[in-house]
A = this chain, B = another copy of it.
Amino acid sequence: MDLKDRDADASRRIRTAAVLLFARRGYAATSVRDLAREVGMTNAGVYHHVASKEALLADLMRGAQQGLIDATEHMLRDVHAPADRLALLISSLTATHALSPMTTRVMDGELRSLTPGSPARDEIIALRDAYEEHWRRAIADGVADGSFRIADQRLTRLALMSMCTGTSEWYRPDGDSTLEQVCAEFVAIGLAAVRSSVRAAAAPDPSLLPEFPWEPPHVRNDPSSAEAGR
């Protein structure tokens, strides 16, 4: 085999194994030696293809975020009505998480593993913010032109996004319903959510909820960069 191809292949196999292991065990619980064993190398061999363990994670996350952004902006190009844009955001985010569960799990859950303040982390946070801005704008536009009625835009956006991203945790291609059905269902839920009026309270009596004696007092997360921490 051609050397260049061989190198590219090894590099890709490392990425594939890394996504799998990072998604399953988590970044911190995955050692470079685990990764090397998975691709049939020693840990030293891995370092021929990767600058550092953290740089590998950053590469994966950057690629995932960027791929999501590119696809989203491409699909949004000729869609203008806020409801249509929101529907497209919902179905594309859902489908991406259903079809690439490992990559998206790493993308969504390993931000905390990047060194705070590092350029790589800041860059990926910026990418995530850029993506979320599409959601923010779609929702704000819908509220502005009267097609949406929403009490708390941030809450609505985060709730809908976490509904979509949760897909990577449970979707299976061999389930009883197709991806098309899931997307259609989620779009319907999302559109219903942004068209609801304020409802009567229905929260359970707090005294009936479980109490955990070790739960720390609520503190705001790091407020830098829009939504940096969470």
Contact = CB atoms under 8 A, between A and B. Distances in A.
Number of copies: 2
A155 B184 contact: no
A64 B210 CA distance: 8
A51 to B, nearest CB: 16
Interface in A68-123: 68, 70-71, 74-75, 87-88, 91-92, 95-96, 99-103, 109, 112-113
A203 B216 contact: no
Interface in A31-78: 60, 63-64, 67-68, 70-71, 74-75
A146 interface: no
B176 A209 contact: no
Interface in A161-178: 162-163, 165-167, 169-173, 175-178
Given A166-B159, A198-B181, A199-B184, A214 B16 contact: yes
Given A95-B209, A103-B215, A215-B103, A159 B154 contact: no
Nearest to A165: B166
Interface residues of A, number: 91
A92 B166 contact: no
A169 B218 CA distance: 12
Interface string A206-230: 1011111111101010000000001
Contacts of A214: 12, 15-16, 18-19, 60, 63, 103
6 contacts: A15-B213, A96-B210, A151-B177, A158-B166, A172-B218, A189-B193
Interface of A: 12, 15-20, 24-29, 60, 63-64, 67-68, 70-71, 74-75, 87-88, 91-92, 95-96, 99-103, 109, 112-113, 151-155, 158-159, 162-163, 165-167, 169-173, 175-189, 192-193, 196, 198-204, 206, 208-216, 218, 220, 230
Given A18-B214, A88-B204, A159-B186, 20 more contacts: A12-B213, A19-B214, A27-B29, A29-B112, A71-B208, A91-B202, A92-B208, A96-B209, A100-B210, A100-B211, A103-B215, A151-B177, A152-B181, A155-B182, A158-B169, A159-B167, A181-B198, A181-B201, A184-B203, A188-B196
